[in-house]
Amino acid sequence: MAHLLVVESWVGSMGRLLPRAIREGGHEFTFLTRDLHHYLRSAPEGAAHPLLGARNVITADTNDTEALLTHVERLHAVWGFDGVLSSCDYYLPTVARIAERLGLPGPGPEAVESACRKDLSRRVLADAGLPGPRFAAHGDWAELARAAREIGYPLVVKPVDLCAGMYVRRVEDESELAAAVRKLNDFPVNARGQRRVPTVLLEELLDGPEVSVETVSSAGAMQVVGVTDKSIGGAPAFVETGHMFPAALSPADTEAAERTALSALKALGLTDGVVAHTEIKLTSAGPCVVEVNPRPAGNRITELVRHVTGIDLAAVFVDVALGRAPDLRRTRTGLRSAAVGFLVPHTTGTLDALEAGQLSHESDVLEVQLAEPGRVVDAADSNNAYLGHVMVGDAQGLGSRDRVAALLADLHAGLVII
């Protein structure tokens, strides 16, 4: 039995899969958080969040990294942690520094910091010669406006240190750029109480479909688990509306996406101790890196992978954090593809009705999760606004994406927001 330290987490998806994977692996964990109520609030009434089933739940200021390192050293002297991990992007650099301080497995802090900061990633990848959009990163408005004119409209505005597509916008001209920058500047502290970096990233708008490459780096070897496709909506925002695994790509496009992702991981130094989710645009000029995430995919992608391949990336994440060789053997699951679709609201109001009908009884439906009436709803401008999801599997081929789209259309027909 190993003892892991979990430093904060997302509350959904991987935040729930990770405790299960730790338990099923025969291990235990200590959970370290600055705000216990954040997890208490996210659990259904009468139930505890799985993260609170830890052997120990410790409250500490996880946003003060230097003080936290000293605190964790004292805990380590008592409990002897075998690995440290987090599913929350905002704490991945902290986890890397803890691993380095305690001599535990994991990628280097500089590599993780570069991956988690979109402007740093862009510079590292550009210096390595990887194809990517023209870009500029500035904190000053005059420099941003000048850089935007040089790149050319339309372009994409991004915060360098937020997740889930928050404040990522397509802008058509300087007035829209100014509005996007003002909104971003009005959000100086993220949802975990961390002060944001005031740098704004501008990128050339890339054409073509987007995919993600799921990989595992262990003992210096990088292995591709598969490629997932993405559906994007919510313009001018970029909201992920669904995914299918495996992506319906030609062998040439699949190989190009995989090769590009592995090159990006190598350039960033994420070649050991990492389960990664690398987003790629398959442009008319070839594949370009959108971003590299040094943690397992969110938005139920890891479950799509498990349903099709039998590979549990949450369990792999635990093994890698312990410095153990992960089990990446595929097994027959009876499914050729699996897809998830998200119910994305387009209006603001209060959820009055959302009927699932017989959805959960459909033979190909793997998951259904829907919001309860009474919820306050905002028109979606990021991946945080979903009203639920449906996941289906296809035993015959790559039909799961179309199937989930049809089911979502039925749900939208019964969606009432007042």
Q: What is the pLDDT of residues 241-267, one digit of tens each?
A: 999 999 999 999 999 999 999 999 999
Count CB neighbours of 116 within 10 A: 23
Return the pLDDT at 272.
93
For domain 133-204, give the fold.
Dna Ligase; domain 1 (3.30.1490)
Would 133-204 and 208-333 be classified into the same CATH topology? no
Q: Is 353 within 8 Å of 397 (Cβ atoms)?
A: no
Does residue 50 surpass a pLDDT of 70? yes
The CATH superfamily assigned to 337-418 is ATP-grasp fold, B domain (3.30.470.20)
Task: Please write the tens of the pLDDT for every residue from 72-114.
Answer: 999 999 999 999 999 999 999 999 999 999 999 999 999 999 9
> How many residues belong to the chain?
418
Domain spanning 3-104, CATH class? alpha beta
pLDDT score at 41: 84
Contact 214, 224 (CB under 8 A): yes
188-217 residue pLDDT tens: 999 999 999 999 999 999 999 999 999 999
Q: Whole-prediction pTM value? A: 0.95
Which tokens hold the place of 153? Answer: 């409209």
d(CA 155, CA 101) in angstroms, rounded, equals 41
- 208-333 domain in CATH 3.30.470.20? yes
Nearest partner of 358 among 407, 304, 307, judged by Cα: 407
* C-alpha torsion 301→305→308→312, nearest 10: -130
**Domain residue ranges of the chain, discontinuous segments joined by +:** 3-104, 133-204, 208-333, 337-418
- The amino acid present at 66, given as its one-letter code, is E
- Reply yes or no on whether the pLDDT at 151 is more than 90: yes
